[in-house]
Amino acid sequence: MKPRRVEDRQDHYYWKAKKEGYRSRAAFKLKQMNKKFGLIKKGYWVLDLGASPGGWSQVAVELGANVVAVDLNPMSSIDDVHFIQGDITSQDTWKRISEVKGKFDVVISDASPKITGKWDIDHFRSVELVESAFQIARAFLKPGGNFVVKMFQGEETPRLYSEFKKHFVFKKLHSPPASRKRSSEIYFIGKGFGGKFKPKREED
């Protein structure tokens, strides 16, 4: 049995996830962002990238969404979630996604690279994942769709934000309360892919 990290033993959201049956504390990040920004609604089709162990997929299902989850690592089954084990940069994975659903209302990604502990390496590995998630979003999002992706803050963050924001009506970098205070992670939130509709004004 893998020992818990000290930060987990002291973490409110870690224990809250255990108590409420979520597979990861990250579930609360999506719950908080959805409450604030209205990203996922009942009946939506959601593509969850880097989904394992499944915390975000659990939340999406709770919200009434149909979920296709993708990860290079295996993931235990979740009711109403179609899981695809594969690399999000692979054309074979893209094909398998399209065989389930051609277009999605929401694309979400909480994927993280393998952490080395070296900030510059971890940042650039994160950038590669974020860009891969965005390529999938551009291919699979419906007009007016929503996109959420995690990135590690660093020198490439302004460039990524500048690129992504061109494609959405509403765009924001956001750190939900459930993110660890010392974490460098931040989420890009985009609503209204392709500028096809004007969402209600969001408050900071």
Task: Tell me which residues are annotated as active site.
Answer: 150
- What is the rounded distance in angstroms from the CA atom of residue 181 to the CA atom of residue 88? 29
Distance of CA 87 to the CA centre of its chain: 15
Phi, psi for residue 98 in degrees, rounded to 5: -65, -25
- What is the rounded distance in angstroms from the CA atom of residue 32 to the CA atom of residue 7? 21
Q: Is residue 133 left, alpha or beta, with left meaning phi > 0 and alpha meaning psi from -120 to 50?
A: alpha
Question: Does residue 83 contact residue 96 with C-beta atoms inside 8 Å?
Answer: no
Residue in the block written with tokens 């965005």: 134
Q: Would you state the structure tokens that stand for residue 117, as one six-digit string?
A: 């502990």
12-20 and 27-37 helices cross at what angle (nearest 10)? 90
Question: Does residue 108 contact residue 48 with C-beta atoms inside 8 Å?
Answer: yes
- What is the rounded distance in angstroms from the CA atom of residue 68 to the CA atom of residue 81? 6
